[in-house]
Structures are given as C-alpha cells and as structure tokens.
Structure 1
Amino acid sequence: MYYRDQPEESSYDKFRTYKIKKGDTLESVARDLGVEAEDLRWYHNMYCEIPDLIEADFKSHLKFLILASEKTIEERKEKTEKKNQKVSLASNYTLPFVADKINKEYQVNYTTVFGDEADTIEMKVSVKWLATDRNKYHLFEINRKDVQVNNKMPDTVMDELEAKTGEVLYPLKIVADESGKWIDIYNYDEIDNRWKEAKEAVLDYFEGEVAENYIEQTEYALDNSETLFDALASDFFLRTFFNGIYIGYTSSYSFQNEVFFPLEKEEESKFAVEQKIDLVLDESNLVKVEQKGDYVDTEGETSFEFDPWKGKFHALYFLDEYSYCIEKVNLECSIEYDEPIKVIIQIEPLKKEETQN
C-alpha cells in the first residue's frame, strides 16, 4: 500500500490517490486505510471519470482510487460529529432563554382557511431585546412592515383600515417572562397617544358605517392596557414567537403539556400536546422543539347531543445551537367544525439582502 502525489493517469494528477493492487477490494482498502467504505466510494465518485465509477466494488480496469485530502476528511468527520451532537440543557433539564441575544428580522406568513376560503397575510417583523429586570422579566420591541394580503397591498376598505390602525401599535413593546411567554404590554400610554393623533386622519380618509364600526372597535380595544392585551391575544406572531417554550423538560427531553391558541373567534382553543426536544442537533445544527397533539373540546365532552369536535396542533421550533434564539417556526393547527378552520404560520429569518432594503 502506498500513496502517490503524481499518479500515472494525467486526468487524476491533481488528486491524492491510492494505487489499487491485485486482490484489493473496496472493503479491504477501507479497512487498511481506517475509513468507511462508503466514504471512499463517495469521494472517488465525486471526481472520477464516468467509466471509473465505483458501484459495489472496484471495476477490473480501475488503477487508482481518488482519496479525499486530509482537510476534507477532517471536515467531513467534524460534520458527522456535529450532526450527532447532543443538545445541552440547563439545570433541571430547562431549555435556556437567552433573551439578550434576540435581535432579528423575520419573514412572517399566515394562511387562514375557513371552509373553502383561504387568505394569506405576509409581513416582515423584527424582534429586539431591550432590557431584563431583576425578576427576569424581559422587555422586547416589536416592529412590522410591508404587510400584504394575498400577495398585494391592502386594497379593500377593511384591509386599509386594519393597516392604518395597525400602524398605531408599532413599535410595540411587550414583556415576556423567563419562559419566553408574552405576559404584558409595556408602552400602552405611547400607543394610546399615537391613536389620538392618528384618529382624525383616519376619520378624514374613511367614511361610512364600516369605518365607523371599525373605529369604534379600535377605541374599545385601546380603552386601557388590559383591553389592548386582550385584543392582541389573537395576534398570531406574538402567540407563536412568545409561546413559553423555555421551560423545564424531563430527562427524556419531553413532557405532556397544554397549549392554548387563538384559532376560534373570541375564544382560546385548547390542545393537549406532547412537547419534546430532539436529543441531537438537526442537519442544519439547530435545536428542534416540537409540540404535537389534539384539540380538546370541553363543550363537546359535557354535551350528550354532539360528539366532541376534533382538531390537530403541530408546531416545530428551530433554535440556534448557541443562543437558543428562534431561527424559524412552522405551526399548523385546525379544528374540524361544520366549516373546518385551519391556520398555518411560517416564520423564517430574513436574508441579509432583504434586511438592507
């Protein structure tokens, strides 16, 4: 066995090679070189000429086996080890919430389905940590822009009203607890003052009963911080991103949990889920947290006239391996009413070129 820096075949003169001897097999060479046979085949087949491809074993005419460089071997080894790297939790199997590392922009898409009708809302949302107090409550600033409905800018009276009044809320400052769950609105007075300034412009621009009713609803929502919190409880981004996933798990990295989500109008939908963390990082070196379970119909369970409604909840959170900050989320939940309802939420990090625009 020996290595040649300059093989006899000029087409392979830029590669590190092994000269195949009589009696050599793919398995025997792999064993002698201390590598996996599949790794030998993988690298050789990437760079060899088509007639020299290795299938089950060496072809009879093959004289040289192309070997990976030591650097390539090391990188592949590190990648393999990284792929099997176990996720580290804090004491008591708690998923750490490193709030001060959160300063990120996301592309956010909501698709809501009611019966045969479907609507999609797209927007860009930024989340920035501002401060943490001694009780481990965290202050965040939320901003959003470029809101589109069904791939176009708001063009109906209702859409325009929602967009105009929605601008009053941002920047929105919220408080999250140490589990990452949204629990309060911090800048209510600031929002209320913005509405007072914007209200006249809204009244000048929009007319009719629809506008008057919507403004009346907005006034009610902004009556005090509690009513505003209740109104924003149906905000899909806030409820998904600040869902309180940073809590204690079991030694198996999972537990049974209840999740509430604003799927039904003016009502919290309840789901019994299994919440778990994958033991190892995924192929992108991210920590995966999953919530998966079924709808709990408490009204149906207590009624003798109707079977309970059925539904599903499935959320996948992908977190940075070092900061545990949310990189992306895929969430889908549904209830099988007479008219089935479903919402699909996707949160992805904005690409650098998008953040610069």
Structure 2
Amino acid sequence: MYYIEEAEVSYHGKHRTYKVKKGDTLESVSLELGIAASELRRYHNIYCDIPDLIEADFKRHLEFLILAPEKSEISKTDIIDEKPREVSLGKNYRLPFTPKQLDQSYKIKYTYEGEDGIDVTEMQISVKWIAADKNKFHLFEINRAPDIYINGKIPDTMMDGLAAKTAEVLYPLKIVVDEFGKWIDIYNHAEIESRWGKIKSEILEYYEGEVVEKYIEHVECTLESSERLLISLRSDYFLRAFFNGIHVGYTADYEFERELSFPLQKETEAVFKVQHKMAPNLDDTGYIRVQQKGNYIDSGFGFLYGNAHLKVNYNAVYFLNSDTYTIEKMNLECNIEKVQPIKTTIEIELLKMKRRITN
C-alpha cells in the first residue's frame, strides 16, 4: 500500500480468519464452522476490502474469510443490532443528495486486465463541496495528491511521467454537479489554462524531443477551450464514477431500468442498458447500497474497442453514508467477454474511514 491510512491497514493479524480452500462455498464453510452463513457473510463484509465482498457466495479470488472473535473476546463495540433499518428516502422514493458537509479524501485504484497483462494505477483524490445556487447546481473542488503509483511505483517511463506531470495543470479542478449528483460541467477553465505556462516550462526542463513537442501540442489543443477540455475530461474514471447521478427517484420496488454511458475508450462513450437497484434496508455495515448492472448496447456512435459484437458487462456498487447520503466506497467493473477477457475496475474508498455501529 502507498497511502498508510486506517482504511488500508490489512485485516490480517487483527481478526480471526479462515483460509478458503478450493471447492469451499459459503454454505460448506458455514456447516464446517457451525456458524450461520448469514452471520459469516455479515461479519466478513464489515471488515473486508470492496473486491472481497461476499454476495451470494465466495468470489473466486477470495483467500481469507474474516471471522468474528470468540464470544469471550466480543466487546460492546462489536455488538451490531441485526434488526434491518429502512433507508430514509425523500418524496417519490428520491435518494437525497446532501453533499454540503462533504470534504473528504479518497483512495483511488484503477486496474486494467488485458491480453498484455495487468496495469494498476493508484492515487489519492480529495472532494470538497463549495456552494450551491438557487437552481440546485452544486460546485465542488477536486484535488489530487502529487504522487501517482503505476504498478506499485512512481512512473519511470517518459510517457507515464509526461501524463502525470501534465495532469497537475488540472488541479484544483472545480466542477458543476446537478441536483442528482451527476457531473455536467467545468467551472474554472480560465484558471486551469493560466497554470499551463508554469507546468509546460517544468516539462521542458526534464524532457525534450519530437514526442514531447507533439504531446505539448496535444495538451494545448485540449486546453484551448472549455468545451474541448470538458470532452477530454469526460474520460476521467473518477469523475464519471463518483458523480454518476445516482441520487434520483426510484420505484416502489426500489429499482428501474435506464441507459447509462461510461467511457471505456478514450473520448468515446460506451452505452449500457442498466438495471438500477437500491436495497430498501441498510446493509450489515449500516450503508445504503446502490447497484447498477447491465450490458453494452449498440448505440450507433461507433465500436467499443472494435468489439461491439461481444458481450460487455457493466457492474457498479455504491455504499453511501446513511446520514449524509455521500459515497464512502464504491466498485465499478466493466468486462469484455472474449477468449482473453478484458476487464477494467475502478475502486474508490474513503480514507481514514471508521467502522460504524448500527443502532
């Protein structure tokens, strides 16, 4: 790990664990340990990382099941009321959007698994609510920590270094978000453009050559207008995943189907037919759980990776604070099903996150 915060401390050594063996299922381990499957799942999901969450059964990559302490070890702070608590919604089953107290830092992890292997990018991003107007548009400030880790280390290739350095011109980034929590515009284009001169000079101090000149030319073309910058930033995974417009009205069954676009390819929107579903009760850890799940559809705007004829899955799970309705963690995955599958994963988790007790 690269940002040593509470949310990142490994659970190994802090909890009892069960080593998952080949062929194990939630039900078989429940019988072996003499503990109800629902209790195994509940306790594990409180303390595990997002990719290790247990839903119907264990995920194939799961190595350890986190177990509750022995009864003699359980303190009052470990006692969790299992009585379901309903999610409190607004009029017309609207999931409220109340970000006025939001001023948090998040750990971000992008994983791309393709034919050439796995690439992992990690960074830290902060989100701060600034203001809202009478039309219910919200202004947010986005900042990114200077260090970016690619496959576990600071970028050491010229192109990775150029990309990381160039990205500094964007921050702090101020964006406009609508009343449903969906990002719609950039607020401080002129400020970003004014920062470019200093960043450009720093780049030219370290790099030279035709490739660098073409890269700078491309950046300057992007920064030329707020419209071009907006088009480029629409491919930003964090902005699109975090400000996804999930604060909408649901049906009495807490779900609906709607098309959703997401940028799996640079500056190209992939359109999915998605089932949006919210759990009517808080989950075992006291979170509001919202899921989006669906498949790619041919939108007529071009081919996705040249593989539009293949099945492409979209699956996102959001965990929201039940008091503020803000995101505390989320996981978004897109899979292209082919002989050698392609998978993109975006994980976002609140730093310094404290486990909460459900009353």
| TM bucket, shorter chain | 0.7 to 0.9
1:227-275 Cα offsets, whole Å, 9 max, x none, are: 0011111110000000000111111110001111110233111111110
Q: Distance in 1 between matches of 2:353 and 2:252?
A: 38
Question: In structure 2, do the counterparts of structure 1 residues 340 and 209 end up closer, same or farther at CA, with 3 Å as the change threshold?
Answer: farther
Deviation at 1:47, TM superposition (A): 4.3
Instruction: Please show how residues 23-172 of structure 1 align to structure 2 within 5 Å.
Output: 46-47=71-72, 79-81=81-83, 84-145=84-145, 146-172=147-173
Deviation at 1:205, TM superposition (A): 2.0
Instruction: Please show how residues 331-342 of structure 1 align to structure 2 within 5 Å.
Output: 331-336=332-337, 340-342=341-343
Q: Distance in 1 between matches of 2:340 and 2:267?
A: 17
Give SS of 2:284's match. coil
* Code of the aligned partner of 1:309: L
* Code of the aligned partner of 1:46: K
1:23-66 Cα offsets, whole Å, 9 max, x none, are: xxxxxxxxxxxxxxxxxxxxxx8349xxxxxxxxxxxxxxxxxx
Q: Distance in 2 between matches of 1:85 and 1:314?
A: 25
Instruction: Report whether the alignment pairs 1:221 with 2:222.
Output: yes
Deviation at 1:212, TM superposition (A): 1.3
CA RMSD of aligned residues (A): 2.7
TM-score by length of 1: 0.73
Instruction: Please show how residues 178-193 of structure 1 align to structure 2 within 5 Å.
Output: 178-193=179-194
Give SS of 1:293's match. strand
* Code of the aligned partner of 1:104: Q
Question: In structure 2, do the counterparts of structure 1 residues 103 and 268 end up closer, same or farther at CA, with 3 Å as the change threshold?
Answer: same
Instruction: Please show how residues 265-304 of structure 1 align to structure 2 within 5 Å.
Output: 265-298=266-299
Q: Distance in 2 between matches of 1:342 and 1:47?
A: 44
Q: Distance in 2 between matches of 1:301 and 1:171?
A: 33
Ranked by relative contact order (alpha carbons within 8 Å, sequence separation 6 or more), the top structure is: 2
Q: Which has the higher helix share?
A: 1
1:58-103 Cα offsets, whole Å, 9 max, x none, are: xxxxxxxxxx9xx97xx95x7123xx01111100111000020211
Give SS of 2:148's match. strand
Aligned to 2:252: 251
Deviation at 1:117, TM superposition (A): 2.5
Unaligned runs of 5+ in 1: 1-44, 49-67
Give SS of 2:200's match. helix
Give SS of 1:283's match. coil
TM-score by length of 2: 0.73
- Kindly indicate whether the alpha-carbon contact (under 8 Å) linking 2:111 and 2:120 is maintained by their aligned counterparts in 1: yes
Aligned to 1:317: 318
- Kindly indicate whether the alpha-carbon contact (under 8 Å) linking 1:158 and 1:210 is maintained by their aligned counterparts in 2: no
Deviation at 1:116, TM superposition (A): 3.3
Q: Distance in 1 between matches of 2:314 and 2:226?
A: 30
Deviation at 1:166, TM superposition (A): 0.6
- Kindly indicate whether the alpha-carbon contact (under 8 Å) linking 2:231 and 2:267 is maintained by their aligned counterparts in 1: no
Give SS of 1:101's match. coil
* Code of the aligned partner of 1:100: K
Give SS of 1:258's match. strand
Q: Distance in 1 between matches of 2:302 and 2:128?
A: 42
Deviation at 1:352, TM superposition (A): 6.8
- Kindly indicate whether the alpha-carbon contact (under 8 Å) linking 1:299 and 1:308 is maintained by their aligned counterparts in 2: no
- Kindly indicate whether the alpha-carbon contact (under 8 Å) linking 2:234 and 2:267 is maintained by their aligned counterparts in 1: no
Q: Distance in 1 between matches of 2:322 and 2:256?
A: 21
Aligned to 1:58: none
Q: Distance in 1 between matches of 2:289 and 2:141?
A: 25
Unaligned runs of 5+ in 2: 1-69, 355-359
Question: In structure 2, do the counterparts of structure 1 residues 250 and 199 end up closer, same or farther at CA, with 3 Å as the change threshold?
Answer: same
- Kindly indicate whether the alpha-carbon contact (under 8 Å) linking 1:112 and 1:341 is maintained by their aligned counterparts in 2: yes
Give SS of 2:81's match. helix
Q: Distance in 1 between matches of 2:137 and 2:332?
A: 26
Question: In structure 2, do the counterparts of structure 1 residues 284 and 219 end up closer, same or farther at CA, with 3 Å as the change threshold?
Answer: same
Question: In structure 2, do the counterparts of structure 1 residues 154 and 291 end up closer, same or farther at CA, with 3 Å as the change threshold?
Answer: same
Deviation at 1:297, TM superposition (A): 2.6
